[in-house]
Chain A
Amino acid sequence: MRALRRLLAKLKNFTTGRNADARLREEMEEHVAMQTEENLRAGMTRDEARRQAAIKLGGAGAIREKYHAEEGLPLIENLGRDVRFAVRQLRRSPGYAATAVITLALGIGANTAIFLLTWSIVLKSLPVPNPSELVRYTFRKGESDIGLSFPQYEAISKLQSTASGVFAWAGSQNLVRYHGQAAKIHSAEVTGSTISVLELRPALGQGFEADAGERGKAFRPEVMLAYNYWRTQFHSDPAIVGQSLNVDNHDLTIVGVLPRGFDGTGPDEHIDILLPISYENVLHPANDNSPGMYHPGMFWLTVMGRLRPGESLKQAQANIDSIRRQVNDTADPTHVYLDGGLFGKYELGVEAGYAGRSWLRWKYEKPLVALEALCGLMMLLCALNVALLIVSRVSARLHEFAMRNALGASRGRLVAQVLTETLMLGLCGLAGGALLGWELAHALVSMITDPVSNSILRLDAGLAVFGFSAAVSLGTALAAGMWPAWRASRTAPARDLKLSASGSGSHRLGRWIIPAQVALGLVLLNAALLMAGTLRAYMRQNSGFNAGNAVLGEMDLTDSGVAVKEEAAKSLEYLRQVQAAPGVQAAALMTMVPISGSFGTNDMFAYDAKGNLHVNKQMWPEDVAGDYFTVLGTRILQGRAFTAADASGDRNCILSAAAAAEFFPGGSAIGRRVYFGDGKDKPKEHSGCQVVGVAEDARFASLLEPAPEMVYMPLEQIPGLSYFTIAVKTANTNFGADTLRNIYRREFPGAPLPRIERFSDAINYDLSRQRLLSSVSGGFALLALTLVATGLYGILGRTVTEQRREIGIRMALGAERKQIVIALLASVGLRVAVGVVFGVALAAAASSLIRSLLYGVTPGNPWVALATLSLLVAVLSLAFVFPAGRAASVNPMEAIREE
């Protein structure tokens, strides 16, 4: 009650701005007057009486401060005053303020950018109710996390007992015609249970029935629209439900619009429409060319479920462990696909599903974690530098603090003032850093965006990201300001008031700041060099491609009016036109696209010279026409490349070096035959193909993966092929791309243009993980070196200034300039050495974090260590030279005379 009344009175005073200062002054004056009279009566002189009265009252300043504190809300009032004071102080020294703010902004910018990516790619939940209840069923072998087959989905949803529902989802692309316009759109084919498991409340209409798309249920030609697609393409037409949409020449009825915000099961998936999964069976029914959607060896689905209330992920995992065998038996009764072959080592599992499934997450989760760790070190370094700045500023103002302390300012107030000033720097740094981070994050996104599939990651600057940045910046500012603030509060007026303005203590400070900076700089530099080494190792390895400025064009003739049967002939005609065009050095047609991650396997076998059978169930077939090996720069090691004659007659083929060595160990492969099949049946005469050449091994799917064993065949000899990719080699890539487009327009009027990609871009994208890591860590290292150098420069500069007199005296006593510099070097060298020791230890501790991201180099690589040390020492020497020069050029007479 009393406390409340007091608070109310204080609040009133605070808000009305009432100030009883005049009253207090009058009361105190009266008090002193009365005491003076009393003293006079006691027989003192008038002066003495007044003096004693004043002493008895105590320090007027302190009383007024205390009185004022009782009167209003000193915390808030002081805050306002401190902020104004801080702004004034900072404006008076713009150089100091700018340096501190830029340092903070750079650190915070880097942190914000990386966290923005981490948040958007790794941490963010799907925009559905209670995402933490979601689980995702996986089919994994180590890092590799492929989809599930439809029979696996069916078996899981039937046998599992922890989830209330399970759904299957497969991203796809379709051609939609609406109002006479055709457009390629992103879609997903899903089971009807998707709607209920994700608890998607359609914004419009009902959506699919719960069992839509399941096997055995008749396909209902229905489609749902994503909210954004409905809004942009159909202007949010409320009467859209019931209308029809033409998808790949099928008329589907629109049955609903998905809820706003939901457009996929990952941050990089943005679907326009949702289709029942059995639509796949309509589009690609099982036949000679297509295994069909129910094939047990087609792993193409994202499968997720929602746990029943009370069930945990652990229980779900135990559940999967207990039914795994049964799922395999049900999904693949022949045991060909799940218990052997290419996918035999893959295992069914279940993981947390709050973030859905995203390829980006799979690819970048580890690098981002590593980068976050580097970010933390980076921020520590920034904090050290800012602390250094603040310390030097505080020690330059010790005189002022001592004065204020003598005048009655409490230690708490001095601390508050220093911290306020630091926080102001933190806020400015936050503003700059947030902007910088946003820009930086977008630059990084463009680096990791697939140029072909265009699956753009939408960055989400949610509250979490802002909160993180704010916490980092204010935390850093506070941490950096803590020590200096404490130092300011320990001011002893008697000592510090006598101090000259030069300040003191930088050399003491350097004792721990220099080693810390050197250690952090060393770790960051080492990480950057390891990452750069990794990228270099990938780029310089013999990939089996030397394509220079080749350009690829992925052709899709589905909508060109060309019948599937004629696709090969028409494409070959197109190839001939391109080959004949001026400026074209070489051109080729192929079915599988190199460095695109696409793959396919065949069973093949052969008998070697001794008649031994060799079977390989993982041969990659590539069907080619034109000068494939010339365009892509894959060397022919033995025999010859294809010629025009190979298009007809007896079937010839070319093996990769590894395949040739496996099939025909110890002998030449040229002239021998290889056959399709698992080798159980005797091959017929003239079946298979005759090897006419051996090509070098090429890392066909990705530069990150070992080269597969391959067999190249003339595509003219394989019936029923469609979907080709053309490659062309010209003097420059733009010219090549234009040539491809121009001739395409002439050959296939009206058809959508092929997706054109430079081979070098494909390689860049293939290495985007390594490029992201090396460029970001490289940026960190650059910043770190700058910070370490400026930090050392600052400390040394101030040390030399402070010790000017001492240096002068030593010189006057006979020390040579060389000795002065050596002494300085020795003190710095010792600290740097300590820093290096700690840095090496820290780098060793951190190596497990990045080891799995490295290739071609290991954390302990001596060359990298040497490079790290020499770079560091070079930069530190640069920072040492100027202060050392100044120390050596001290004029002893002048230095001693100064005071």
Chain B
Amino acid sequence: MKTKKDVQQGTLALMVLKTLETLGPLHGYGIARRIERISGDLLEVNQGTLYPVLLRLEQEGAVESDWGPSENNRRARFYRLTRAGRKQLEAEKREWEATAAIIERFFTLKAEDWA
């Protein structure tokens, strides 16, 4: 049986940034749904924990936020990626890819390659 995995804070922040880059300005609920859907419901975001992460990103200057009308015309807070956020995403993406590549290589190595 597959179990749902907890999301670590740093990973969650990276997902938030990527979501905002792809979809443009979004409110908290939208971000949560998006992450959930992409992970194929494998990742369970305790959705509330998203908000402290958003605030943190905002304080770091990676995102901006403002009130705006939601789909059903209610007030919601929308988050948008800033230039600094875009740069941060790029940097973290590269780092993530480098890490993933190394791990990948470890897993593809066969016993004779260790010699």
Instruction: Answer yes or no: are A and B bound together in one complex.
Output: yes
Residue of A nearest to B76 (CB): A30
Q: Which residues of A contact B29 (CB under 8 A)?
A: 30-31, 34-35
Query: Is the pair B49, A63 in contact by a Cβ cutoff of 8 Å?
Result: yes
* Total number of residue pairs linking A and B with CB closer than 8 Å: 72
How long is the Cα–Cα vector from A33 to B75 in the complex, in angstroms? 11
Q: Which residues of B contact A30 (CB under 8 A)?
A: 27-29, 70, 74-77
Q: Which residues of B contact A63 (CB under 8 A)?
A: 48-49, 51-52
Query: Is the pair A56, B47 in contact by a Cβ cutoff of 8 Å?
Result: yes
Residue of B nearest to A59 (CB): B48
Least distance between B57 CB and chain A CB atoms (Å): 10
A2 at the interface (CB under 8 A from B): yes
B60 at the interface (CB under 8 A from A): yes
Residue of A nearest to B58 (CB): A9
How long is the Cα–Cα vector from A37 to B32 in the complex, in angstroms? 15
Q: Which residues of A contact B39 (CB under 8 A)?
A: none
Residue of B nearest to A12 (CB): B59
Q: Which residues of A contact B28 (CB under 8 A)?
A: 27, 30-31
Which residues 63-115 of B have a CB within 8 angstroms of A? 70, 72, 74-77, 88
A599 at the interface (CB under 8 A from B): no
Query: Is the pair A6, B49 in contact by a Cβ cutoff of 8 Å?
Result: no
Q: Which residues of A contact B72 (CB under 8 A)?
A: 37
A182 at the interface (CB under 8 A from B): no
Beyond A28-B48, A31-B28, whether A70 also contacts B56 by CB under 8 A is yes
Which residues 40-72 of A have a CB within 8 angstroms of B? 56-60, 62-63, 66-67, 69-71
- Most A CB contacts (10 A, CB to CB) among B28, B48, B49, B72 go to B48
A681 at the interface (CB under 8 A from B): no
Q: Which residues of B contact A35 (CB under 8 A)?
A: 29, 47
Question: A70 is contacted by which of B47, B59, B61, B88 (Cβ under 8 Å)?
Answer: B59
Beyond A27-B28, A67-B52, whether A6 also contacts B46 by CB under 8 A is no
B42 at the interface (CB under 8 A from A): no
How long is the Cα–Cα vector from A411 to B75 in the complex, in angstroms? 37
Interface size class of A (residues with CB under 8 A): 20 to 34
How long is the Cα–Cα vector from A9 to B59 in the complex, in angstroms? 6
For the complex, would chain A's binding face be called helix, strand, loop or mixed by DSSP majority? helix
Q: Which residues of B contact A58 (CB under 8 A)?
A: 46-49
How long is the Cα–Cα vector from A13 to B68 in the complex, in angstroms? 24
B7 at the interface (CB under 8 A from A): no
- The stretch from A18-26, A125-133, A630-638, A852-860 touching chain B is A18-26
Least distance between B85 CB and chain A CB atoms (Å): 10
Q: Which residues of B contact A34 (CB under 8 A)?
A: 29, 70, 76
Query: Is the pair B55, A71 in contact by a Cβ cutoff of 8 Å?
Result: yes
Q: Which residues of B contact A60 (CB under 8 A)?
A: 48
Query: Is the pair B52, A23 in contact by a Cβ cutoff of 8 Å?
Result: no
Query: Is the pair A6, B47 in contact by a Cβ cutoff of 8 Å?
Result: no
Query: Is the pair B76, A2 in contact by a Cβ cutoff of 8 Å?
Result: no
How long is the Cα–Cα vector from A6 to B56 in the complex, in angstroms? 8
Q: Which residues of A contact B60 (CB under 8 A)?
A: 2, 5-6
For the complex, would chain B's binding face be called helix, strand, loop or mixed by DSSP majority? helix
Residue of B nearest to A63 (CB): B48
Query: Is the pair B75, A26 in contact by a Cβ cutoff of 8 Å?
Result: yes
Interface size class of B (residues with CB under 8 A): 20 to 34
- Most B CB contacts (10 A, CB to CB) among A27, A56, A62, A67 go to A27
Which residues 7-63 of B have a CB within 8 angstroms of A? 27-29, 32-33, 46-49, 51-52, 55-56, 59-62
Beyond A31-B32, A56-B47, whether A23 also contacts B61 by CB under 8 A is no
How long is the Cα–Cα vector from A616 to B29 in the complex, in angstroms? 108
How long is the Cα–Cα vector from A37 to B72 in the complex, in angstroms? 10
Which residues 52-101 of A have a CB within 8 angstroms of B? 56-60, 62-63, 66-67, 69-71
Residue of B nearest to A4 (CB): B60
Least distance between A660 CB and chain B CB atoms (Å): 96
Q: Which residues of B contact A24 (CB under 8 A)?
A: 51
Question: B59 is contacted by which of A10, A27, A28, A62 (Cβ under 8 Å)?
Answer: A10
Least distance between B70 CB and chain A CB atoms (Å): 7
Query: Is the pair B75, A5 in contact by a Cβ cutoff of 8 Å?
Result: no
Q: Which residues of A contact B88 (CB under 8 A)?
A: 2
Query: Is the pair B47, A31 in contact by a Cβ cutoff of 8 Å?
Result: yes
Residue of B nearest to A13 (CB): B59
Least distance between A42 CB and chain B CB atoms (Å): 13
Least distance between A273 CB and chain B CB atoms (Å): 69
Least distance between B95 CB and chain A CB atoms (Å): 14
Question: B52 is contacted by which of A26, A33, A70 (Cβ under 8 Å)?
Answer: A70
Residue of A nearest to B71 (CB): A34
Q: Which residues of B contact A66 (CB under 8 A)?
A: 49, 52
Q: Which residues of A contact B48 (CB under 8 A)?
A: 28, 31, 57-60, 62-63
How long is the Cα–Cα vector from A406 to B28 in the complex, in angstroms? 27
How long is the Cα–Cα vector from A424 to B7 in the complex, in angstroms? 40
Least distance between B90 CB and chain A CB atoms (Å): 14
Least distance between A359 CB and chain B CB atoms (Å): 66
Q: Which residues of B contact A62 (CB under 8 A)?
A: 48
Query: Is the pair A6, B52 in contact by a Cβ cutoff of 8 Å?
Result: no
Q: Which residues of B contact A2 (CB under 8 A)?
A: 60-62, 88
Q: Which residues of B contact A9 (CB under 8 A)?
A: 59
How long is the Cα–Cα vector from A27 to B32 in the complex, in angstroms? 13
Chain B proximity mask over A608-626: 1 for CB below 8 Å, otherwise 0: 0000000000000000000
Q: Which residues of A contact B33 (CB under 8 A)?
A: 38
- Most A CB contacts (10 A, CB to CB) among B60, B70, B72 go to B60
Least distance between A369 CB and chain B CB atoms (Å): 54
How long is the Cα–Cα vector from A23 to B28 in the complex, in angstroms? 12
Beyond A56-B47, A58-B49, A63-B48, whether A5 also contacts B59 by CB under 8 A is yes
Q: Which residues of A contact B61 (CB under 8 A)?
A: 2, 5
Least distance between A54 CB and chain B CB atoms (Å): 10
Q: Which residues of B contact A69 (CB under 8 A)?
A: 52
Least distance between B16 CB and chain A CB atoms (Å): 14
Which residues 769-797 of A have a CB within 8 angstroms of B? none
Query: Is the pair B70, A28 in contact by a Cβ cutoff of 8 Å?
Result: no
Q: Which residues of B contact A31 (CB under 8 A)?
A: 28-29, 32, 47-48
Residue of B nearest to A71 (CB): B55
Least distance between A59 CB and chain B CB atoms (Å): 7
Residue of B nearest to A69 (CB): B52
Query: Is the pair A70, B55 in contact by a Cβ cutoff of 8 Å?
Result: yes
How long is the Cα–Cα vector from A70 to B72 in the complex, in angstroms? 30
Residue of A nearest to B74 (CB): A30
Residue of A nearest to B30 (CB): A34
Residue of B nearest to A2 (CB): B60
- Most A CB contacts (10 A, CB to CB) among B27, B49, B75 go to B49
Residue of A nearest to B72 (CB): A37
Q: Which residues of B contact A10 (CB under 8 A)?
A: 59
Q: Which residues of A contact B76 (CB under 8 A)?
A: 27, 30, 34
Question: A27 is contacted by which of B46, B49, B56, B77 (Cβ under 8 Å)?
Answer: B77
How long is the Cα–Cα vector from A216 to B42 in the complex, in angstroms? 102
Least distance between A9 CB and chain B CB atoms (Å): 4
Residue of A nearest to B46 (CB): A58
Q: Which residues of A contact B55 (CB under 8 A)?
A: 20, 67, 70-71
Residue of B nearest to A35 (CB): B29
**Would you give 25 A-B contacts (Cβ < 8 Å), ordered by A?**
A2-B60, A6-B56, A27-B27, A27-B28, A27-B51, A27-B77, A28-B51, A30-B28, A30-B74, A30-B75, A31-B29, A31-B32, A31-B48, A35-B47, A57-B48, A58-B46, A58-B48, A58-B49, A63-B49, A63-B52, A67-B51, A67-B52, A70-B52, A70-B55, A70-B56
Q: A30-B29, A38-B33, A63-B48 are in contact. List 14 more A-B contacts (CB 8 A).
A: A2-B61, A5-B59, A26-B75, A26-B77, A27-B27, A27-B51, A27-B77, A30-B27, A30-B76, A34-B29, A57-B46, A70-B56, A70-B59, A71-B59
List the 9 closest pairs (A to B, CB-CB), nearest first: A63-B48, A58-B48, A9-B59, A58-B46, A34-B29, A66-B52, A57-B48, A67-B52, A70-B52
